[in-house]
């Protein structure tokens, strides 16, 4: 796993022009909430989206996530475990 993903901050993502508008909006919304509640909701969202991705192998194959994407998901999974 790449250690760089562990060091990402909200500010890093909001300042990165490659961060999707959806993720930027989610992060801005999370900053207005209780941090623990937002983190708990993010954990639920991660689990639901991971399950959805696993159930749709044809999409997963077509998307061909980069190794960075995979490392980010692995990092998040370890944090939430």
Q: Are 76 and 46 in contact (CB under 8 A)?
A: yes
Q: How confident is the model at residue 64 (pLDDT cuts 50, 70, 90)?
A: low
In this structure, what DSSP letter does residue 19 have? S
Among 27, 3, 2, CA closest to 16: 27
Please tell me whether the overall predicted TM-score, pTM, comes out greater than 0.85 for this model: no
Note the pLDDT tens digit of each residue in 4-56.
455 788 999 999 999 999 999 999 999 999 999 999 999 999 989 888 888 87
Domain coordinates in residue numbering, the chain:
3-80
């Amino acid at each position: 796993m790449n250690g760089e993903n562990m060091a990402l901050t909200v500010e890093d993502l909001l300042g990165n022009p490659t961060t999707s508008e959806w993720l930027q909006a989610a992060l801005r919304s999370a900053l207005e909430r209780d941090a623990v509640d937002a983190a708990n909701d993010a954990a639920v969202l991660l689990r639901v989206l991971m399950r959805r991705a696993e159930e749709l192998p044809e999409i997963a194959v077509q998307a061909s996530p980069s190794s960075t994407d995979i490392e980010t998901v692995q990092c998040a999974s370890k944090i939430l475990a």
